A and B are shown apart, each in its own frame.
Chain A
Amino acid sequence: MDVLFGNLSEYLTRFGGTIGLFVLSAIASLILGVILAAMRVSPVPAMRAVGTGYVTLLRNTPLTLVLFFFALGFTKLFFYLPFFLLAVIGLSLYTAAFVCEVVRGGISTVPAGQSEAARALGLGFSQTLSLVVLPQAVRSVMPPLTSVQIALLKNTTVAAGFSVFEAGGFYRAVNEQGGSTLVALLWVAVGFIILVIPLTVLQRRLEKRWSVAR
């Protein structure tokens, strides 16, 4: 308990960092993921190929490798950016591939009659997708999307291996003051359990409430 309460402000600041990283990456990955999913179902072959290539590549790349590049390679090649931003970019690019697959899966759960009706009304591809299909896909997409975002929340700790601003780096701060590393890490684990469990509960509820329809 001493390890926690002696370093409470440190602990909370670091979990604040984790949450900041999570929220920014979650928003960016959702936007990019939906765009990629739209590309993968679009009538333009080049867009489909690019979307498929991106998803195949990123899904088969270890996140550690992505962040390795952003932590150690990016500044060498391009220009200086603070690591927090680089971590957001890396996590978003990685997670977007998974978001894309989930959204694409959701699109295919919407009955074909819906988009056929939309087309019969004279709607184009982007209108069919954004006004008719995607709003209905949300229902089946939400539960798996929540698990992707839970994975993202846990993946923010990988960024801690390269830098020290977030929760995963808490043990180092404790260790410098001579505290027990084990206890510090256990508290980090507890913090994550506290963050993940509400999301899991939310996911189960959404699944139960929304899976009835159709």
Chain B
Amino acid sequence: MSAPTAVLFDVPGPRAKARNTVAGVVTLVFVAALVGVIIWRLAATGQLDARAWEWILYENVQLALLDGLVNTLRAFASGAVLALVLGALLALGRLSDHRWLRTLSSWFVELFRAVPLVVLMFLFYYGLPSVGITVSTYAAVVLGLTLYNGAVLAEVFRAGVLAVPRGQSEAAYALGLRKSGVMRFVLLPQAVRSMLPAIVSQLVVLLKDSALGFLITYPELLFQAQFLGSNATLGSPLIPVAMVVAVIYIALCLLLSWLASWLEARSRRNPAVLTVAPTERADAT
């Protein structure tokens, strides 16, 4: 809780305390009722029966889920590396002294930020074969993730470079560094440092978006969940498998989010790191 929120109300007196307790109890009862209804429906539809969870003991099922996890992480890792590279290149393009390069990069960034990622993936997987180019689901997912997140990261990098005080680049030029040297040795290191939390937050988005591979049948976790869940010999345990997959996905994203907030807390403590206003950051949706 940051300081301004505590300003919104006075220190509660006896009546306010009683009122707050009532409001707290009502909230908890409401949440408990919601959870209760979900558990009741799960039990009533037989999702909590031993039979519906039997699959978890089979080695093949465990291996299938592990396979899904590996595929998710593989798409995430290649997408993240490529998006970071593309983002850096596009940021350099947008900061270039050459007008044509600036315009080209801006158009590229605007284009891929405007087109929904699902449509991009569909384009690569379902669209390209009609002009004779066949790509694997993996390539389509990674390409989509790279183009979209690269465009978003380009804006993050650019904001970071622009936030470095002018004196830094002026001093570097005065020392006789060239444009590329100023960028490589002076601007980018400081920009990356101040933008690290924003970059990691964007990687969380990338990890979440890798689940879109499900829609083009890339065999990641959700796809395995649907595949196993519709297996009649296991008793079609769609909801139990989906619950397990959901826990894995959320745990992965939470870990990465925590890394981002830890980095942010660390950089806030360190006065050497530039602080960048949150509005200059890309939307992490």
Contacts and interface: CB of A to CB of B under 8 A. Distances in A.
Interface of A: 39-48, 50, 56-57, 59-65, 68-69, 72-73, 76-78, 98, 104-105, 107-108, 110, 112, 115-116, 119, 124-125, 128-129, 133, 140, 143-144, 147-148, 150-152, 154-158, 160-162, 168, 171, 175, 180-186, 188-189, 192-193, 196-197, 200
A168 B24 contact: no
Residue in B7, B123, B208, B229 with the greatest tally of chain A CB atoms within 10 Å? B7
A73 B236 CA distance: 12
Contact of A73 (B25, B214, B239, B257): B239
Contacts of B5: 40-41, 104, 107-108
B175 interface: no
Interface of B: 1-5, 7-10, 12, 16, 20, 23-25, 27-28, 31, 38, 41-42, 45, 47, 110-111, 114-120, 122-123, 126-131, 204, 207-212, 214-215, 222, 225-226, 229, 238-239, 242, 245-246, 249-250, 253-254, 257, 278-279, 283, 285
A77 B246 contact: no
Given A77-B45, A148-B285, A182-B130, A60 B27 contact: no
16 contacts: A44-B27, A46-B28, A60-B208, A60-B250, A62-B209, A62-B211, A64-B222, A69-B242, A112-B3, A115-B4, A151-B285, A161-B214, A168-B119, A181-B130, A189-B115, A193-B115
A94 B123 CA distance: 25
B24 A151 contact: no
Contacts of B114: 154, 192-193, 196-197, 200
A188 B122 CA distance: 10
Contact of A64 (B8, B214, B253): B214
Nearest to B251: A60
Contacts, number: 190
B117 A161 contact: no
A43 B207 CA distance: 35
Given A105-B278, A128-B9, A171-B126, A193 B111 contact: yes
A112 B6 CA distance: 10
Contact of B127 (A125, A185, A193): A185
A118 B206 CA distance: 43
A193 B27 CA distance: 42
B130 A68 contact: no
Contacts of B214: 64, 68, 161
A44 B24 contact: yes
A182 B254 CA distance: 37
Contacts of A40: 5
Contact of B254 (A56, A62, A72, A104): A56
A182 B123 contact: yes
Contacts of B120: 189
B123 A60 contact: no
